[in-house]
Structure 1
Amino acid sequence: MFIAQQKRKENIAEYVLYMWQLEDLIRAYKLDIETIAENVIDKMAYGEAEKAQIRDWYESLIEMMRLEGVQEKGHLQLVKNTVSDVTDLHYALLKSPKYPGYSALFYQTLPVIGAFRQRQDNPDAEDIELCFVFLYGVLLLRLQKKEISQDTQIALTQISKLLAQLSHNYKLYLNNELELAEPEL
């Protein structure tokens, strides 16, 4: 909970990946709060009051997963909304003449995104969502200690640069420090 709050403020891409990882963790423990408490929460270096807050937070995530029907796969609506907000900012940056560096970085990354899209079940997914899916896939490979090919490593570098820039701009946007001028007609 505290980690998620911090990541949401500091780096939205890390927040999304963290939340996806928590969804998978909750699934791995079969949405059982007692098992999660025993294996995760109780081992955290927090006081009892903080652990109680974290337990409540996990319980609310479990309840949302049940209500939204994402016990086995899929993502919580609050995380989907975050990805949608980031995607909206992405389009605003592309339309703005004030951020040609972001546009250039995106168009450099587009062939990598396109190649990844061809291997996905959801060809209509937004480019930014595919970037998150790619990074999460690499994260899972690393957690499983599987080898990452050179092509995947190159793609990882490019997609990471794009999402790092987008995350930076998202933080600026949340702090009202990003100027998104309307294009002149």
Structure 2
Amino acid sequence: MLIADQKKKQNICEYIIYIYQSEELLRAFDFNFEDIKEYVIKHITKLDEQQQEEVIKWHKDLLDVMTKEEVLKEGHCSWAQDEVDNITTLHEQLLANDKEYAKTYKNAEPHINENLKIADGLITNPIQICINGIFGLLLLRTRGRKVDDATKQILDTFGDVLSYLAYKYKAVSEV
């Protein structure tokens, strides 16, 4: 099973972030699949040669979508955005009907609202704010940058929201 398929099945939020990471990987290597295979895919030790080819094909399919949707330089493709929309719908349902989720979200809400203000209308979706925050944290960590404790606490609340959504999404998807 492909890494992407596994993530989509097990944790939809991780799947979205995996797509974001893959888009950034393609951009960082200037869409050169030989270099991606040599410097990235070959170093994923748990993949045999056939699986490596499947991962390359998945990334080529992603590039096709990015090209069609004109997000080669920045932004995210519909594979990710469709899933963000799905979990946003779930978020709205849970907010109205799940007291535990409402409590989890309320804990993150002041930080989400602050980030929505900073986004100045470019991002209006609170769940997108959470995903972007966690993705940003991963980017910082891959670049060896540290995150201060206050920021980490904020991002932990975003992670709590996304974890709850992923858990509920998986439960609903398995029905």
TM score, norm. by length of structure 1: 0.87
Q: Does 1:79 align with 2:80?
A: yes
Work out the number of aligned pairs and report it. 174
User: After the TM superposition, which residues 5-84 of structure 1 pair with which residues of structure 2 at under 5 Å, given as runs?
Assistant: 5-45=5-45, 46-84=47-85
Structure 1 or 2: larger helix share? 2
Distance 1:63 1:73 in 2: 15
Q: What letter is aligned with 2:21? A: Q
Q: Which has the larger radius of gyration?
A: 1
Please tell me the root mean square deviation across aligned C-alpha atoms, in Å: 1.6
Query: Following the alignment from structure 2 to structure 1, what is the Cα–Cα distance between the partners of residues 96 and 3?
Result: 33
Structure 2 segments unaligned to the other structure (5+ residues):
none
Q: How far, CA to CA, are the matches of 2:34 and 2:130 in structure 1?
A: 34
The residue aligned with 1:149 is: 148
Distance 1:17 1:71 in 2: 17
For residues 145 and 49 of structure 1, the distance between their equivalents in structure 2, rounded to whole angstroms, comes to 32
Q: Among the aligned pairs, what percent are the same residue?
A: 30
Show the counterpart of 1:127. 126
CA distance in 2, matches of 1:164, 1:170: 10
Q: Deviations over 1:89-128 (max 9, x none)?
A: 10111122xx111112112211010112222254542100
Partner of 2:168: 169
Alignment deviations for residues 54-98 of structure 1 (CA, whole Å, 9 cap, x no partner): 2221211111111111111011111100010010110111122xx
CA pair 53-123 structure 1, distance change in 2 beyond 3 A: closer
Cross-structure match for 1:106:
105
Q: Deviations over 1:12-39 (max 9, x none)?
A: 1111111101100000011122222222
Amino acid at match of 1:110: E
Structure 2 Cα separation of the partners of residues 62 and 124 of structure 1: 24
Question: Which amino acid counterpart does residue 106 of structure 1 have in structure 2?
Answer: Y
Q: Note the C-alpha offset of 1:136.
A: 0.9
Counterpart AA for 2:2: F
Bigger drift between 32-41 and 110-119 goes to 32-41
Letter in 2 for 1:14: E
TM-score of the superposed pair, with normalisation by structure 2:
0.92
User: What's the offset of the Cα at 1:147?
Assistant: 2.1
Inter-CA distance 67–16: structure 2 relative to 1 (3 Å threshold): same
Once the two structures are TM-superposed, the CA of residue 40 in structure 1 deviates from its matched residue by 2.1
- CA drift of 1:163 comes to 0.9
**1:139 aligned counterpart, secondary structure:** helix
Return the alpha-carbon distance in structure 2 between the equivalents of residues 60 and 91 of structure 1. 31
- Asked if the contact 1:31–1:71 (Cα under 8 Å) also holds between the matched residues in 2, the reply is no
| Range with bigger deviation, 42-51 or 127-136 | 42-51
Stretches of structure 1 that go unaligned for 5 or more consecutive residues are 177-185
